[in-house]
Structure 1
């Protein structure tokens, strides 16, 4: 690979710029979440129509991720990430003013494609920056996605609670993202692969196994988001108004664990960190299901957050080290499989819970995560 874009930079500046790259999509996607009720009312949608329209966001992401890797190989990460964040900034205000389901669906498709392209390309950037640093950095990078999500949701909720018009709240969020882009993009990587790279390739060998691990871990994360509060309400008789504390405990624990995760990975080794994380996450699910009361169950959410935190970052590092596929193909494939876990998770858990019970569905998640610990015997790269 040859860097054809001569931009003054240093390894430290590239690391900070990569952290900013992870913060931005987390901030942007979280800024959309508080807007959903406003968008639903403005477009005149019922719950069923809203569910269909929201699928456009996931569809855009899934289609964009594989193509983003090929574009990054040909154009460099910098150009793809810049285009992705500009597209996300253009789409976000439209989400607040969409007058009907068609416009909202199209805006969500563009927004999802932009976020998906950014998610994929920022991991390509992170792999190169981490590799050149000679030390573990990936968990810290991923922590900034979580920090961005917290900041975006908190800022948008505060603006809307203060009476801000949704579209102007979106404009404020866009200003924040554009300011970060203006500072960071000069230090994003500009290398291009000299050979042509196909737009999509099926994962094979160790890349497929890494992708399956990411699918499982994103499935577990999606379960905490979509089913955690329902579980506390139905299985632990927690007040529905407070049941969201489960996801809060999970997400805060994950963020803290990622901020400290690079040191852990550096100290004990990547695969040992994965095994330990999977065992802690399994224990967390067991505590959630078996806990006699709400307080102990919330401790289970914390354990799941700690356990899951550093497994996906280690998998992306492994994707950058394997030789079965070029990383410009491997990372998009892994990103797509992981995101498929987020999308499929709610439906899969609901299907299992409907046929058996929600407790059994959570046990299935627990043993799936335990399988990740067993998979490490084939993941040494």
Structure 2
């Protein structure tokens, strides 16, 4: 019988993944408003967006240190409240320099809640003795869909954009405050870490220099590749469909939509898949399926088959990252508060680097070669996972 505290902790963790996805994706519909209000060109907007990613990257390693000191639920609460409070401000700022600062703070809050909720999810999973990470990441994707659609829907209904953002912020704060007490407290988290990572409790705060352990870095590298591929799909799939498949501009988002929906559905079913199969089948098989999907996208002469390739890509890639986070939380002799921030940071760095890498390859060769490079990288993930020690 699973402890009721753990069951409540699982429910609260699910809500936190939903909150993070909702908060981050609510920014997407705000981008055009921010661009027009600040009078930015595409290059200036791209530079400004780097502050969001930079804030997240800076905070992720720091979050691990804070989790080790005060527990993940306090980090989730503080980071979540900051994200909710900053969200409406993103629609109020009229100065580019101030906007950069606000975006940086927003990125810091997203980075903080991302690491803390994954660390908390891993500990709940270990305590329950069965996989839950795939469905948690699936709920993040669901939050992402609701966030990007919800804010736009409120604005479409005639609500002032700032009031719409305030409405989303109130929802985020309400969910955080309602679920905060159900998250595992600091003492319970330490008990789980000691039990499942086989660490002496007196050494929990002394293992901060073990970031460069090979078992952590190899998971981080594979996570870097997986996130790189996802980021590349987000920024380049529409351009690929327009320039190489002749899809009209208003429908070019259909490829990423097919990829995203397939990934969300597969992640919501992923825990059962991991339980019935094993991590090797999920990661190696998923990587090869994702690679096949990209090759179909590139080589198909028919749009319907191309979209099927995007679906295969989403299905294959869906549960790879959750498996990496799960394994990061079970490394012998190492606290998840060390492993999870490293894996998260390397993964997020890949998501930021992916679009730029594809841009360089497309510039010197072609976008088709760039997409084929992603397929090759998924094959590399399969090989690394199969032969790692």
Same-fold call, TM cutoff 0.5:
yes
The 1-side partners of 2:141 and 2:15 are apart by 12
The 2-side partners of 1:164 and 1:283 are apart by 44
Match of 1:102 in 2: 97
The 2-side partners of 1:119 and 1:92 are apart by 16
Cα deviation, 1:308-361, whole Å, max 9, x if unaligned, reads 000000000000111364321111011000000110011100000111011111
Aligned pairs for 1:1-381 within 5 A: 10-191=5-186, 195-196=204-205, 202-323=211-332, 325-379=334-388
Cα distance, 1:201 vs structure 2: 5.8
Check the 8 A contact 1:206/1:379 in 2, yes or no.
no
**Which secondary structure state, in structure 2, belongs to the residue aligned with residue 151 of structure 1?**
helix
Check the 8 A contact 1:281/1:304 in 2, yes or no.
yes
Taking structure 1 as reference, are residues 51 and 233 closer, same or farther at Cα in structure 2, changes over 3 Å only? same
Cα distance, 1:43 vs structure 2: 2.0
The TM-score, its normalising length taken from structure 2, stands at 0.93
Check the 8 A contact 1:75/1:190 in 2, yes or no.
no
The 2-side partners of 1:346 and 1:176 are apart by 32
Check the 8 A contact 2:6/2:184 in 1, yes or no.
no
The 2-side partners of 1:199 and 1:91 are apart by 31
Taking structure 1 as reference, are residues 79 and 271 closer, same or farther at Cα in structure 2, changes over 3 Å only? same
Structure 1: runs of 5+ lacking an equivalent:
1-7
Match of 1:4 in 2: none
The 2-side partners of 1:379 and 1:11 are apart by 33
The 1-side partners of 2:388 and 2:132 are apart by 19
The 1-side partners of 2:342 and 2:332 are apart by 14
Taking structure 1 as reference, are residues 170 and 196 closer, same or farther at Cα in structure 2, changes over 3 Å only? same
**Which secondary structure state, in structure 1, belongs to the residue aligned with residue 107 of structure 2?**
helix
Match of 1:5 in 2: none
More displaced, 178-187 or 320-329? 320-329
The 2-side partners of 1:215 and 1:115 are apart by 18
The 2-side partners of 1:57 and 1:275 are apart by 32
Check the 8 A contact 2:5/2:184 in 1, yes or no.
no
Check the 8 A contact 2:8/2:183 in 1, yes or no.
no
The 1-side partners of 2:219 and 2:208 are apart by 20
Check the 8 A contact 2:18/2:142 in 1, yes or no.
yes
Over aligned residues, Cα RMSD in angstroms?
1.6
More displaced, 304-313 or 37-46? 37-46
Aligned length: 373
Structure 2: runs of 5+ lacking an equivalent:
191-201
Cα deviation, 1:194-226, whole Å, max 9, x if unaligned, reads 643577764321111100111111011111110
Cα distance, 1:23 vs structure 2: 0.6
Cα distance, 1:265 vs structure 2: 0.4
The 2-side partners of 1:377 and 1:254 are apart by 23
More displaced, 197-206 or 332-341? 197-206
